[in-house]
Amino acid sequence: MCFPNRLPTQPPVRLCPWMPTRSSSATPSFSPWPSCLWPRASPTPCTFSPAFRGGAPRPSAWPCGEPPLPCCIVASSTSWRTRPTRRRPNAPPSLFRSTRPTVMSTTAPTTDTHTITVQTEADQHKIEVEPGITLRQALRRHGHSPHNAVTDIANCGGRGHCGLCVVEIVEGAPPPTQALDSTLSGMGVGRLSCLVTVDHDMTVRL
């Protein structure tokens, strides 16, 4: 490590808060500067520093170039601490924070459901489903299926391509909107449950 040397007649002073005391017996304290930035010869004194005010500059040798900050700037600084943030009394409000009071909604959530009466060979019961889903989805969510053992494996998954999810809508059948559903309904076969949207009550026979 390279440490600053001093002349015999130079008083032990500190050039700046980051450099160690220039004395022959003192060990340099911790410094955030790399050791290569410390002068090998006597550094150029700062004419603005109180310790060297009025002194004549002496030549110096900086092996790695000049230091990042002049000594006069370091010596004239009173403190390295940042000032606390002060908010002006008439400062504008934040752009990302709303100043309007929060209004809680008093409207109750909609709980409209439709009743589907499912008729099987064994019994008959009713299920409550939310509007907007297909009849096939409503039946499968409540443990019913429009498929048998064979068509439950080989089907299109409710995309309206295979025609294997046919059910009989006894009451409340909506008008068909797809060509395949309209064809099967006209033939008296039934309705494709994947193409029937639940928007009112209905009775289905499986």
Per-residue pLDDT tens for 145-159? 999 888 888 899 999
Q: Do 67 and 126 reside in the same domain of the chain?
A: no
| Phi, psi at 33, each rounded to 5° | -80, 145
> What is the pLDDT, as a whole number, of residue 149?
86
Question: Would you say residue 28 lies in a domain?
Answer: yes
Q: Do 132 and 201 reside in the same domain of the chain?
A: yes
Question: Would you say residue 1 lies in a domain?
Answer: yes
Question: Which of 60, 79, 98 is at the close of a domain?
Answer: 79
Number of domains into which the chain is organized: 2
pLDDT, one tens digit per residue, over 74-89 is 555 544 555 555 555 5
Which phi-psi region, left, alpha or beta, contains residue 7 (left: φ > 0; alpha: ψ -120 to 50)?
beta
Question: Would you say residue 84 lies in a domain?
Answer: no
CATH number at residue 172: 3.10.20.30
> Are the beta carbons of 75 and 46 closer than 8 angstroms?
yes
> What is the pLDDT, as a whole number, of residue 24?
43
Q: Do 74 and 131 reside in the same domain of the chain?
A: no
- The yes-or-no verdict on residue 6 having pLDDT over 50 is no
Q: Do 118 and 74 reside in the same domain of the chain?
A: no
